[in-house]
């Protein structure tokens, strides 16, 4: 009986696929490295406002570790590592990598921290934080986004992120107090429930409307006595925070 020999053909096909995967991975690694360089350059350019010429090595490592292409719409995967905001589902956007990195750095995340995120969006900011802290609780008012982000985070193995659909204005009191709180939508004012759920020594990073009709990124830190101390960091532009005001 004549012996069929499909194995060499399969090996050739497998080798081609592996070579293609390696090429794609190398390209993606180069794009991620380019994003980190762009973040570093932008941080230096905005140091006049932020007082930061560089960001922490841990934050930059987290930015380089998260596959941003998994958090954008398929049509924008090719642009995932550009230092720009991009569209996501439900007419929303994924923030510019510079802003994600800066807001993360402002929180000064520590390995034992428990953080709250208001405005999960695609889940990208939560994924970056998850590299750096013990647990992230994230609230998203748009159920479609909450479900999608939870699915992607789960598929990527981020088991220290918990996402729920709800109004983030009220925070997540069941898991408070938090070491840090990050808000990824522009608020008309600082929500009192979030201040109440912040530990003494904890930090809140939030974009807030100003009198000129624009937004300022604020860093609020509670002192040991529970008094919030506020600092204006940078002019920004975020989608508005929806829900209870």
pLDDT at 171 over 70: yes
pLDDT: which is higher, 225 or 243: 225
Residue 11: pLDDT band (50, 70, 90) is low
Please tell me the predicted confidence (pLDDT) of residue 97: 97
Does the residue 241 lie in any domain? no
Q: Report if residue 149 sits inside a domain.
A: yes
Nearest Cα to Cα of residue 62 among 101, 34, 98? 101
Which domain does 135 fall in, by range? 7-236
244, part of any domain? no
Q: Is 10 exposed, middle or buried (0-12, 13-18, 19+ CB in 10 A)?
A: exposed
Q: Between β-strands 86-87 and 93-94, what pairing exists: parallel, antiparallel or unpaired?
A: antiparallel
Does the pLDDT at position 21 exceed 60?
Answer: no
Report the alpha-carbon distance of residue 163 to residue 83 in Å, rounded. Answer: 26
Would 242 be classed as within a structural domain?
Answer: no
Considering 25, 40, 42, 95, which one is annotated as catalytic? 95
DSSP label at 81? T
**Could you give the CA distance from residue 97 to residue 75 in angstroms, rounded to a whole number?**
18
Question: Exposed, middle or buried, 153 (CB in 10 Å: 0-12/13-18/19+)?
Answer: buried
The residue behind tokens 């003494």 is 200
Segment 65-114, tens digit of pLDDT: 999 999 999 999 999 999 999 999 999 999 999 999 999 999 999 999 99
Asked about 95 being catalytic, the answer comes back as yes
Report pTM. Answer: 0.87
Q: How big is the CA angle at 59 (ends 54 and 62), to the nearest 5 degrees?
A: 140
The domain tally of the chain equals 1
Q: Domain of 20: which CATH number? A: 3.40.50.150
pLDDT digits (tens, 9 = 90+) for 175-214: 999 999 999 988 889 999 999 999 999 999 999 988 787 8
State the pLDDT at residue 26.
Answer: 75
């Amino acid at each position: 009986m004549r012996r069929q020999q499909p194995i060499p053909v399969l090996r050739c096909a497998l080798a081609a696929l592996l070579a293609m995967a390696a090429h794609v991975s190398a390209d993606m690694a180069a794009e991620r490295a380019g994003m980190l360089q762009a973040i570093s350059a932008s941080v230096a350019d905005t140091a006049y406002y932020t007082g930061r010429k560089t960001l922490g090595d841990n934050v930059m490592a987290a930015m380089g570790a998260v596959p941003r292409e998994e958090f954008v719409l398929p049509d924008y995967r090719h642009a995932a590592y550009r230092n720009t905001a991009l569209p996501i589902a439900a007419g929303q956007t994924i923030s510019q990598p510079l802003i994600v990195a800066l807001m993360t750095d402002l929180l000064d995340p520590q390995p034992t921290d428990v953080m709250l995120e208001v405005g999960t969006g695609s889940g990208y900011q939560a994924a970056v934080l998850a590299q750096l802290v013990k647990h992230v609780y994230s609230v998203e008012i748009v159920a479609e986004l909450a479900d999608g982000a939870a699915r992607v985070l789960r598929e990527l193995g981020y088991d220290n992120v918990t996402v729920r659909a709800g109004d983030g204005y009220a925070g997540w009191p069941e898991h408070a107090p938090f070491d840090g709180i990050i808000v990824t939508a522009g608020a008309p004012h600082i929500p009192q429930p979030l201040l109440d759920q912040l530990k003494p020594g904890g930090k809140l990073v939030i974009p807030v409307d100003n009198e000129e009709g624009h937004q300022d990124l604020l860093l609020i830190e509670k002192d040991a006595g529970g008094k919030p101390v506020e600092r204006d960091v940078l002019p920004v532009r975020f989608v508005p925070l929806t829900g209870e005001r």
